[in-house]
Amino acid sequence: MSVFTPVTRRSLEPFLARYHVGSLVNFHGISEGVENTNYFVDTSDGQFVLTLFERLNYDQLPYFLGLMDHLHQRGVPTPAPRRARDGALSQPLLGKPAALVDRIPGIGVADASARQCAAVGEALARLHTDGQGFDGHRPPDRSSDWWQATAEALRPQLETDECELLDDELAFQAGVDRSHLPSGVIHADLFRDNALFAGEQLSGLIDWYYACNDRFIYDLAVAVNDWCVDEHWAPRADHWTQLLAAYAAVRPFTDAERVVWSAELRASALRFWLSRLYDRCFPRGGDLTLIKDPTPQRRRLERWRAGEALPLP
Amino acid sequence: MSVFTPVTRRSLEPFLARYHVGSLVNFHGISEGVENTNYFVDTSDGQFVLTLFERLNYDQLPYFLGLMDHLHQRGVPTPAPRRARDGALSQPLLGKPAALVDRIPGIGVADASARQCAAVGEALARLHTDGQGFDGHRPPDRSSDWWQATAEALRPQLETDECELLDDELAFQAGVDRSHLPSGVIHADLFRDNALFAGEQLSGLIDWYYACNDRFIYDLAVAVNDWCVDEHWAPRADHWTQLLAAYAAVRPFTDAERVVWSAELRASALRFWLSRLYDRCFPRGGDLTLIKDPTPQRRRLERWRAGEALPLP
């Protein structure tokens, strides 16, 4: 996991009493996710996921929870956040903001099929189009400013070859023109862990806590970077084609998006390489802490730099 | 997790074809467990858990899988292992022995209720009594020999106070008379993570890969050490009483067991303190590796040494 904040029955029962969800039966930490503390919670009325926000303030939550509510109402597969008796979508628990959402059936995807890729491409495009009516706005927290600041903090701890790759990529990215790209609400973290399938059915996109307003094509690059590569991080043509075709059937690409596609793939690999390097160099405490290996993101970055990406359809 | 061995569709499909379980739909790594690689596997016929055994040889598997089969048939809540078309309970996958068991509904227990403790006490007693008819035999792999060898490997890496506590406890344990204790098949790792509840119902005991033939009272101490303490590792009287009473209603305690009870609680805290220290000092590689903090086990050991354990009923 990471369970950063251990929850007890004594703390959870009064929290649940603030919702219309029945009484506590059982709960258990979920050992996934590296940002927040998550628990499965079973009550007499149903099954829920409880999230304690470890790094977010209350004023950021209305964006995430309001967005999930907005998308759920429009049929984009997302968990529905529950409103407390006072009408709010979050409540404090152990001094942290916390939310309760319906638990979606299904499991993540270890090794995607082309068909699953198509389902994810379609859902992502629907998020981008149906998100247009959402009136919240949140700037990206993993933008180029964050890349620079993180690179600064990491440099003293990196190997020479890591520093060279990083500096060269940052210089390249600084020269990319992103001024005419369609943007709006994006998920920003649509890895295979964050799409649940119940059998063949995409039951929900989860873990919305990087969502922000940014370039659609970057969001797509994050997904392709994870869903459409093989175990050596080389492109899988059938997956790549099906994800992008299903996406484009809902929202066709612009010419400006075609121009930056390869640069956006590099940007997505760079972003996750940086955050995993950071977590390796500066691990956080916790009862159980999950550290993800940075190497696979570096390998992807190297492939996209070598021109191995497939084009947009 | 730990996913030590990444599985792909290409490797999993021919493996599944050796069973009567339909065709692969989806699968996903389970980020729990520190010994083996586990995946949820959905097929056209049902939901399963796949385990790749990272440190076990084929000749050890018949014990574990045969035991689960034996207990499942007798109504002890355990997952049923599937037999392949050739009749075997395991098959090779990526060069490792692997097994497929039915996926049990439910979640583990973060903070037990007294009622859940009673359900676990009863199930543990039924395991000890119904296990009597099982004809396999396996010596414990975390016995006093293992304590000594592990302490030897750890000493150069430990703080002075850790060394002193360890050596003092090992000397105490060496003097405990365990010659007249009832024994048989035990689970040996019945933590809250390893009992799934679907609502109020104990749906299954899982993770049988430390099971062995050893003292029943030690198995009970492992469970009480985890299920019946509060967040400061002090005994919770109601949980403690209900777990032990439910156990004793199925299998009453002997006088010899009453004498060693406190020493067995110390032995169980020692065993898990040692293994967590070892994993901290000598971490294994893996895509995602979970390191559990040794401190809570040390705190328990200190409490049991201070005479804070409650007696057997």
Residues on chain A touching B5 (C-beta within 8 angstroms): none
Residues on chain B touching A22 (C-beta within 8 angstroms): none
The answer for residues whose C-beta is within 8 angstroms of residue A62's C-beta and 6 or more apart is: A89, A136
B10 and B94 share one domain: yes
β-strands B288-292, B2-3: how paired? antiparallel
Does residue A1 form part of some domain? no
Buried b (16+ CB within 10 A) or exposed e, A146-171: ebeebbeebeeeeeeebeebbeebee
Helices B255-281 and B160-174, axial angle in degrees (round to 10): 150
The answer for residues whose C-beta is within 8 angstroms of residue A290's C-beta and 6 or more apart is: A1, A2, A31, A32, A34, B1, B31, B288, B289, B290
Cβ within 8 Å, pair A231-B8: yes
Residues on chain B touching A26 (C-beta within 8 angstroms): 107, 109, 113, 116, 197, 199-200
Does residue B232 form part of some domain? yes
A33 and A176 share one domain: no
Does residue A312 form part of some domain? no
pLDDT tens column, B60-102: 899 999 999 999 999 999 999 999 999 999 999 999 999 999 9
Does residue B108 form part of some domain? no
A238 and A118 share one domain: yes
A191 and A284 share one domain: yes
What integer best gives the mean pLDDT of chain A? 93
Is a pLDDT exceeding 50 seen at residue A135? yes
pLDDT score recorded for residue B191: 96
Does residue B107 form part of some domain? no
Is a pLDDT exceeding 50 seen at residue A1? no
Does residue B43 form part of some domain? yes
pLDDT tens column, B233-292: 999 999 999 999 999 999 999 999 999 999 999 999 999 999 999 988 887 665 555 678
Is a pLDDT exceeding 80 seen at residue A4? no
Please compute the mean of the pLDDT values over residues A173-197 and round it to a whole number: 96
pLDDT score recorded for residue A90: 93
Name the domain boundary from A75, A102, A129: A102
Please say whether the dihedral angle defined by the alpha carbons of residues A59, A64, A66 and A67, taken in this order, is positive or negative: positive
Residue A82 pLDDT level (bands cut at 50, 70, 90):
very high
A299 and A189 share one domain: yes
Name the domain boundary from B55, B82, B102: B102
> What 8-state DSSP symbol labels residue B180?
T
A18 CA to chain B: closest CA distance, Å?
A: 20
Compute the radius of gyration of chain B from its Cα atoms: 20
A170 CA to chain B: closest CA distance, Å?
A: 27
pLDDT score recorded for residue B1: 41
A197 and A295 share one domain: yes
pLDDT score recorded for residue B270: 98
Residue B209 pLDDT level (bands cut at 50, 70, 90):
confident
DSSP string, chain A: -EE-S---HHHHHHHHTTBSS--EEEEEE----SSSEEEEEEESS-EEEEEE-SS--GGGHHHHHHHHHHHHHTT-S-PPBPPBTTS-S-EEETTEEEEEEEPPP-B--SS--HHHHHHHHHHHHHHHHHGGG-------SSSHHHHHHHHHHHGGGS-HHHHHHHHHHHHHHHT---TT--EEEE-S---GGGEEEETTEEEEE---TT-EEEEHHHHHHHHHHHHSB-TTS-B-HHHHHHHHHHHHHHSPPPHHHHHHHHHHHHHHHHHHHHHHHHHHHSPPP-SEEEEE-SHHHHHHHHHHHTT-PPPP-
Residues on chain A touching B234 (C-beta within 8 angstroms): none
Q: From A24, which residue of chain B is nearest by alpha-carbon distance?
A: B199
A20 and A81 share one domain: yes
Is a pLDDT exceeding 60 seen at residue A144? yes
- The fraction of chain A above a pLDDT of 90, given in percent, is 86
Cβ within 8 Å, pair A9-B111: yes
- CATH number of domain containing B289: 3.90.1200.10
Does residue B311 form part of some domain? no
Separation between Cα atoms, residue A52 and residue B212, nearest integer Å: 39
Please compute the mean of the pLDDT values over residues A284-299 and round it to a whole number: 76
Q: Establish whether this prediction's ipTM goes over 0.95.
A: no
Cβ within 8 Å, pair A6-B231: yes
Separation between Cα atoms, residue A243 and residue A224, nearest integer Å: 8
Please compute the mean of the pLDDT values over residues A202-228 and round it to a whole number: 96
Is a pLDDT exceeding 70 seen at residue A195? yes
A282 and A151 share one domain: yes
- CATH number of domain containing A45: 3.30.200.20
Task: Check: CB of residue B79 under 8 Å from CB of residue B206.
Answer: yes
Does residue B275 form part of some domain? yes
pLDDT score recorded for residue B289: 54
Residues on chain A touching B40 (C-beta within 8 angstroms): 107
Cβ within 8 Å, pair A26-B293: no
Please compute the mean of the pLDDT values over residues B28-43 and round it to a whole number: 85
Residue B179 burial class via C-beta count within 10 angstroms: exposed 0-12, middle 13-18, buried 19 and up: exposed
Among residues B90, B2, B48, the alpha carbon closest in space to that of B206 is found at: B48
- More reliable by pLDDT, B155 or A287: B155
pLDDT score recorded for residue A132: 94
pLDDT tens column, B132-184: 999 999 999 899 999 999 999 999 999 999 999 999 999 999 999 999 999 99
Domain count, chain A: 2
B248 and B224 share one domain: yes
A251 and A292 share one domain: yes
Q: Which domain holds residue B6?
A: 2-102
Q: From residue B13, how far is each of A26, A104, B9, B23 by CA, in Å?
A: 35, 26, 6, 7
Is a pLDDT exceeding 60 seen at residue B187? yes
Among residues B61, B120, B113, the alpha carbon closest in space to that of B89 is found at: B61
pLDDT score recorded for residue A209: 87
Buried b (16+ CB within 10 A) or exposed e, A67-105: bbbbbbeeebbbbebbebeeeebbbebeebbbbbbbbbe
B178 and B207 share one domain: yes
Chain A contact probe: residue of B107, B193, B299 with most A CBs at under 10 A? B107
Residue A286 pLDDT level (bands cut at 50, 70, 90):
low
Is a pLDDT exceeding 60 seen at residue A289? no
What integer best gives the mean pLDDT of chain B? 93
- The fraction of chain B above a pLDDT of 90, given in percent, is 86
Separation between Cα atoms, residue A24 and residue A31, nearest integer Å: 21
Name the domain boundary from B102, B137, B161: B102
Please say whether the dihedral angle defined by the alpha carbons of residues B111, B117, B123 and B127, taken in this order, is positive or negative: positive
pLDDT score recorded for residue B4: 76
B141 and B200 share one domain: yes
CB-closest option in B1, B6, B42 to A231: B6
Cβ within 8 Å, pair B31-A231: no
Please compute the mean of the pLDDT values over residues A67-75 and round it to a whole number: 96
